[in-house]
Every structure is written in C-alpha cells, then in structure tokens.
Amino acid sequence: MSTTTHAIAAPGPGAPLERTTIERRDLRPDDVLIDIAYAGICHSDIHQARGEWGEAIFPMVPGHEIAGTVAAVGSAVTKYQVGDRVGVGCMVDSCGECEYCQAGTEQFCVKGNVQTYNGVGFDGEPTYGGYSQQVVVKDAFVCRIPDGIGLDVAAPLLCAGITTYSPLRQWGAGPGKKVAIVGLGGLGHMAVKLAAAMGAEVTVLSQSLKKQEDGKRLGATEYYATADESTFEVLRGKFDLILNTVSAQIPVDAYLGLLRTGGAMVNVGAPGEPLSYNAFSLIAGNKALAGSMIGGIPETQEMLDFCAEHGIGAEIETISADDVNTAYERVSASDVRYRFVIDTATINS
Ligand SMILES: [Zn+2]
Ligand SMILES: [Zn+2]
C-alpha cells in the first residue's frame, strides 16, 4: 500500500501550480520515507514547470532542494534512523555500477541519473519532487543535514549550494586565490558565501551596484558593476577563477580578459542561446573555459558538513503554498533575496 501525500503540482506546461495529492511508493528495503519540512524554489523548477526545457512529464511536482526528517526506513537501511535530519537534491537514483557512479559522481551516470522530479525511475514510474509533504528516496541518495544548520536555510544547499561548491573546490578556490562571482542571485549568493569560507578573496561582478551591501555582508571584499565598462579595464588580469552563475548572454571575451594567465572561467548558468568567444582569448594566456553540473552524493555530503562547520545557510524568504505562483513570477523577475523556500506544512492548510 502506497502513501498518499499532499503536494503542489503544475497540471500542464505553464499552468498555475495547484494543490493536489500524490502517491509515494511503499518502502523498498533500501528506501527512506522523509517528512519534508522545506523545499527550495530553484530557477530550473520554473523552466521545467513551464515546459521550457523540452519534453516534460505532467502533472509535475517540482522541487529538488528538499530538507526534512526521516519518518520511516526500509528493512535494509542502516545509515538513517527515524528522526534524522536529511536532505535530497537533484537526483534520486543512478545505475550504481558505471565508472562515474563508482567514483561518486552519479550526476554523470552513463545510464542517466534519475532526476528528483520530471524524471522516470528505473521502475518506469514518474518521479515527483519536493513541493510535497513526504517523499520516498533510496538511502544512497539521501544526505545528512548536520544539526548546526536550520532545515529551512539548508534546503537550497541541495541544489544551489552544491552547484557552486563543486566548481569552487574543483578549481582551487582557497587562500591566496582571487575569485570573481558573476551574478548575485540564488546561485551567486551561495558562491560568495562558500568561496569566502574557503578562504578566497571574493569579488562580485553584478550588472549594477544595487546589491553591493548584501554582497559585502555575504563575504565579498569587492563589488563591481559590469554595466560600467571601466570595470573590465580596472580588473584586467586579476582573477584566478571566475564562476559565472548568470543564465544570460555575456561578453565572454571581456570576462576572459579578467583572468590571470592560467586562470579559468567556469559556467554554471546556462543561457538559451549559444555563447561565443574568440579562441585567442583562451590561447593568449593558457586560460580555460569550463562547465560544472551539480555534484555527486559524497561531495554533496561534504558540502553540507562544510556549511555546518562554517555556519553557512542560504539567504531565504519562507513562503506558504499559496504564494508559489507569485514566487515564480518574482524569481523570473530576479526579485528575490535570495531563495524562496516553501514551508510544506502549508500545503494542506
Ligand atoms: Zn536546482
Ligand atoms: Zn552509473
């Protein structure tokens, strides 16, 4: 017998989200049933709920920034007990056998990882995400949320946190390194906090100086407006690493000019249209232009532990189920500081 749980779903592409109920599967031996407390709203939820990323499965229950407590465990689960504080991010399963899964980088599973929502499990059933009160997830895809972090501010770490933590680690953000974060939104604000906690000297490159105070409070030492052309002169050759969190067209060559010799620019934002750059912008300084996709489960756990150790959570605005459609409009208009988090207790009230 499956569990019926309250949820918020998009009935069709672009249709307003509404309250509904969904079924969660019976616990398999390696499953964990989670009482969801909070679910973050990621920009990708909006793209998928609006059907902007191609084929999508409706009704859709978005949400891959999930934080809650364990309500029950399957017979073979030893890692978690009822009452444990846990989180779930963008994936809920993968083959477990390929070289990438074996290396703990399940996001690159050769059979394709199973997305937390708008995906299809290996059992052929569609997956439904975190805008609901309960979820059943295989224990290997559940992470522990340390006691030091509130569940509300922890939820966005499961996507925005790991998406920025992983490239900062991979590309060596740390003491003695100058790191620029492009864009101060959901991803960018996490990147600033994380890079500063790693010991790097952090600069925010934002369109305007509107959020300068916030950027500095979050850990940046410098803040520049990219609308001001002199920024690209003043900062020329300065950075070891640029993390681009913006999903819009940017003048790539101008940004590559801000890198030191041997520096790297990593994209985690993805504009709909191709970006272009001059190959000499890379060649003339042994520079790298790279990308990064979330992070594997072991690294996600490492990120959560790092955040607890450094007292890092997301900057959030907690909303009720009634406000989700308005929140979608506001995220689309970049009018959020810096992540909306749904209090899932409001879904059935
Ligand atoms: Zn996300
Ligand atoms: Zn695999």
Averaged confidence pLDDT in the chain: 97
- pTM, entire model: 0.97
**CA 228 to each of CA 94, 144, 206, 232: distance values in angstroms, whole numbers, following the listed order:** 45, 43, 10, 8
Q: How far is the CA of 109 from the centre of ligand 2 (A)?
A: 4
What DSSP line would sit under 136-165, residue for residue? EEEGGG-EE--TTS-HHHHGGGGTHHHHHH
Note whether 330 and 283 are same-domain residues.
no
Could you say which ligand is closest to the alpha carbon of residue 93? 2
> With pLDDT > 70 as the criterion, what percentage of the chain qualifies?
100
Could you say which ligand is closest to the alpha carbon of residue 295? 1
pLDDT bin (cut points 50, 70, 90) of residue 270 is: confident
Q: How far is the CA of 237 from the centre of ligand 1 (A)?
A: 32
Ion ligand 2 nearby residues (CB, 5 A): 94-95, 98, 101, 109
User: Per residue in 29-71, pLDDT tens?
Assistant: 999 999 999 999 999 999 999 998 888 999 999 999 999 999 9
Strands, DSSP E only, in the chain? 3-9, 18-24, 31-40, 66-73, 85-88, 91-93, 114-115, 134-138, 143-144, 178-182, 201-206, 222-225, 239-244, 259-267, 288-291, 316-319, 339-343
How many domains does the structure of the chain reveal? 2
Note whether 149 and 109 are same-domain residues.
yes
Do 253 and 284 form a contact (C-beta atoms < 8 A)?
Answer: no
Tell me which residue range forms the domain holding 203.
161-291
Note whether 153 and 9 are same-domain residues.
yes
* CATH number of the domain enclosing 337: 3.90.180.10
pLDDT bin (cut points 50, 70, 90) of residue 1 is: low
User: Per residue in 153-209, pLDDT tens?
Assistant: 999 999 999 999 999 999 999 999 999 999 999 999 999 999 999 999 999 999 999
* CATH number of the domain enclosing 208: 3.40.50.720
Residue 306 lies in a domain: no
Residue 299 lies in a domain: no
pLDDT bin (cut points 50, 70, 90) of residue 272 is: confident
Q: Integer distance in angstroms from the first to the last C-alpha of the chain?
A: 25
Residue 296 lies in a domain: no
